[in-house]
Amino acid sequence: MSVVVVYVPAGSRRNFEIGMDLRVWCWRDETAGRAETPQVLKSLKPGDFVLFGHRGPNARVAAGGWSGASVREFVVTRATSPVYDGVDKVWPDDHYPKRIDLEILDTTGPVSGHQLGTDTMEALRLSANKQGAPVPVHDPAAVDRLADALAGPQATSTTPNAPLPPATTDPIDGDDPQMRFLDLPEDLNRPAMVLRRREQAALRRLLFQSAAEAACDLCGKQLPVRLLRAAHVKRRSVCGRDEQSDRANVMKACVLGCDALFEDGYVYVAADGTIRLGAKTLGSVDLTNAASGLDGRTCTAHSEESAVYFAWHRDIVANPVTAAAAVPAVTR
């Protein structure tokens, strides 16, 4: 597993937002062709970490000059493809043909040199001086240390659906009804699991706060919160950055059957908020019987804001249609 960092200056904010939303990063040919950069790009493979630092101090300082500094925003991603050549235009200001597809694990900030470590900060400084070229981080514990720093005491939890204590230093404020979009952060190795747990903790705190029981948004049963999932309506794996963190894209679904029935499209939520049986439910008598108890109920998570996500699930998962009918992504 390799770790590289990419520095993004303040002037590239729009490109940064587009890249993170589309889960792709791009480089100009001249940046990709400098010095050792071609070898770095060639070595990147799916599963490697690509860390993005945005808005740091002046890069024109001596080696080590960023060790005590910080960056305003930090995004932890993992590559889902090798570097490839793209022909379509991703960013509006120029053509950037060298590209890599990404999975976003976490977004946070500001992050200090103490959290990132000297090697990571020095690599960010070098990237800033190389027009955002990827620079390897040779400290093998860099991502582990960052995950621990971000996750805090929640990193030791082994029960992701257990009740959670109220937030203390976490930036997510579940008590603010005006906060719809959250800066939230998936996968099988330790750092990714820790970062995923941080997101799940924030989502559960948003939905349940300190409650011991809550009602499932599908069946309506009042249950202990350990029997309820903080479930994305539109699958997280295909969500844009804003969609992942939109509270309207999350609902309470119980493990007594509702979570699985909805996830696999055996039931869906119609445009008026009514729960209906999906097309593939009808192939099994037992499955139809299991899902029929939800048919005709009103989904309490359905709203004007969440309707676009339920429409995606209805058309793509429960009753698949052509890609042309897919619901557009939500952005701020």
CATH number for position 68? 3.10.590.10
pLDDT of residue 185: 44
Domain tally for the chain?
2
* Residue 209, H or E segment: none
Burial string for 118-131 (b: 16+ CB within 10 Å, else e) reads ebbbbbbbbbbebe
Tokens describing residue 85: 């050549």
Q: Is residue 331 one of the residues assigned to a domain? A: yes
pLDDT above 90 coverage of the chain, percent: 56
Residue 136 is assigned to a structural domain of this protein: yes
Is 167 part of any domain? no
The predicted-structure confidence for 220-257, as pLDDT tens digits, reads as follows 999 999 999 989 999 877 787 778 778 899 999 999 99
pLDDT in tens, 78-117: 899 999 999 999 999 999 999 999 988 888 878 898 888 8
Among 146-150, 197-201, 239-243, top mean pLDDT goes to 239-243
Which residue type does 77 have?
T
pTM reported for the whole predicted model: 0.58
Structural domain boundaries enclosing 73: 3-150
pLDDT of residue 329: 52
Calculate mean pLDDT across residues 145-171.
45
* Comparison of pLDDT for 105 and 267, the residue scoring more: 267
- Inside any domain, residue 196: no
**Per-residue tokens: 28:** 């100009």
Are 254 and 247 in contact, with CB atoms under 8 Å apart? no
Instruction: Tell whether the model's pLDDT for residue 166 goes beyond 90.
Output: no
Is residue 308 situated within a structural domain? yes
Share of the chain above pLDDT 70, in %: 79
